[in-house]
Amino acid sequence: MLSLRRVDAVLILSFAAVVVAFVIGTVTSQLRTVEIERAALSIQGDAAPSIRYLANARAELRRLQLLVHRALEDRATEDRTPEIESGRALLDAEIAAYRKLPLYPGEAVIWRRAESALSRLNGNVTDVLDAVSRGDVRAARGAEGRLDATSEEVARELSLGIDANTASASELAGRIGDSRRRGAAWAVELDAAGVLLAIFAASLALRISHDHARALGQLHEVAERRAGELDAFATRMAHDIRNPLTTAKLALDEIQRQAPGEDRIRRAAGRGSRAISHTTGMIEALLEFARAGARPSVGASACVADVADEIAAVMRPRAEEIGARLEVRAGSRARVGCSAGMLSSVLGNLVGNALKYVDGGSERQVVVSIDDEAGDVRVTVADTGPGLPAGVDPRALFQPYVRGPDARGRGLGLGLATVSRIVEAHHGRLGVDSTAAGSRFWFALPRARV
């Protein structure tokens, strides 16, 4: 029989060994978590937006090219010029948004070539329009040929940029998988050692059983946190689904344009395109909702008025399509402690909802107002829609998967929930006021420290 002193020594050593194993496991888990989070945030905040902006830019490039061809065919630049200039602005907006993001290795070389090609593209467009306006068909045709060649060069460089970001995202995803596997192996080994030591110590005295149970409880908490991290990782990786969908939609849109006399083919392509747009919208909503749960970036700031102007530029074609007036009234140009991407998500959701509900009304107006309010910047998105239905609790609109009884269009009910998550994560406030004359969704964020 072991002496009491030896039992105490064994208990102390066993307990110490269990504690050391747990500490090592916790530290290892935290290190893996940091590594996974860093890679996932890079995918979320750089690769995914870059792919989206470059894909949008490529689509706008093809649209601009088509508009110039139509201008040459019609010999009427006055009718096509506003449309062409709008196409130029949309292409520039997508490129500008992409340029705000960090570049992965290899992207800088691609972008220098793309920038040079884009400069030539603008000159080619101007040459075609000038020649058409002068009635010089021969010069216009020559400029058209140069435009087509330059467009292909730009499209090729944009595709290479998409490929570079996709490859970087795949590499980061591989790192995440490796970290998970290594972390799991360490956890299994350390957990096994802890359990064996705990069982051995429990055989010497009843006191060790209590310590053993407590250690198992702590390990269970670690496992739950890891499961949550895996769920978050799966959500962040969902953006990969959008890439083939975007390619498929572009192909269907091209079929519609290239088959003017084939009504059956155009209808089928249209149905497929709409289905892809709906699926992409659901994926975007889920991704935005997942991103809204992330912690704010330390030191991030953005000018609300600048972001509002960018959103208005992107949304204005939609507003013009439904005959609505979209206006930004910037009474303040203060900066808030929030990244431009998160702020764009908030304003994009609110303005998009407002345009959806003014569609079909007798008066169609959406006004984004920006004003200083004590130490905050208050943003109000007012519309002339029908307002909230009677009996609807405004607070419930900001809950996940909640849609109003008269909600328009398809959706998951995550837009306003995303707005709420982002605003609250940045220590802000939000709310909604509604009358028969329309709705006023507002939020206030603290000013950024200079």
Which of 15-19, 20-24, 133-137 reaches the highest mean pLDDT? 133-137
pLDDT confidence bin for 264, thresholds 50/70/90: confident
Q: Does 256 have pLDDT greater than 80?
A: no
pLDDT, tens digit, 9 for 90 and up, residues 173-228: 787 777 777 766 766 776 676 677 667 666 655 555 555 567 566 656 654 564 35
- Give me the percent of the chain exceeding a pLDDT of 90: 13
pLDDT at 2: 46
pLDDT at 359: 84
Q: Does 230 have pLDDT greater than 50?
A: no
Minimum mean pLDDT range among 147-161, 244-258, 271-285: 271-285
pLDDT at 394: 65
Domain 4-254 has CATH 3.40.50.720: no
Asked, colleague to colleague, whether 4-254 and 302-446 share their fold, the answer is no
CATH architecture assigned to 302-446: 2-Layer Sandwich (3.30)
Q: Does 129 have pLDDT greater than 70?
A: yes
Q: Does 368 have pLDDT greater than 90?
A: yes
Provide DSSP, 72-114: HHHT-HHHHHHHHHHHHHHHHHHHHHHHTSPPPTTHHHHHHHH
362 against 446, higher pLDDT: 446
pLDDT at 236: 54
Q: Does 333 have pLDDT greater than 80?
A: yes
pLDDT at 420: 87
pLDDT at 367: 95
For residue 225, give Cα distances in angstroms to 202, 213, 219, 228: 28, 19, 10, 5
CA 231 – CA 227 distance, rounded (Å): 6
Please report, for the chain, the start and end positions of each structural domain, with discontinuous segments joined by +.
4-254, 302-446
Q: Does 360 have pLDDT greater than 70?
A: yes
User: C-alpha angle 205/210/213, rounded to 5°?
Assistant: 125
pLDDT confidence bin for 332, thresholds 50/70/90: very high
pLDDT at 205: 54
pTM reported for the whole predicted model: 0.42
How many CA atoms, within 13 angstroms, populate the side-chain half-sphere of residue 208? 25
User: Quick check: 336 and 447 in contact, CB under 8 A?
Assistant: yes
Q: Does 20 have pLDDT greater than 90?
A: no
pLDDT confidence bin for 78, thresholds 50/70/90: low
Neighbour-count burial of 26, counting CB atoms closer than 10 A to its CB (0-12 exposed, 13-18 middle, 19+ buried): middle
CA 439 – CA 265 distance, rounded (Å): 42
pLDDT at 137: 79
CA 229 – CA 222 distance, rounded (Å): 11
Question: How much is the mean pLDDT over the chain?
Answer: 76
pLDDT at 231: 47
Q: Does 73 have pLDDT greater than 90?
A: no
DSSP H or E stretch at residue 313: helix 304-321
pLDDT, tens digit, 9 for 90 and up, residues 378-405: 999 999 988 877 666 667 677 654 445 4
pLDDT, tens digit, 9 for 90 and up, residues 231-254: 454 455 555 666 676 776 676 677
pLDDT confidence bin for 282, thresholds 50/70/90: very low
pLDDT at 174: 81
User: Quick check: 180 and 234 in contact, CB under 8 A?
Assistant: no
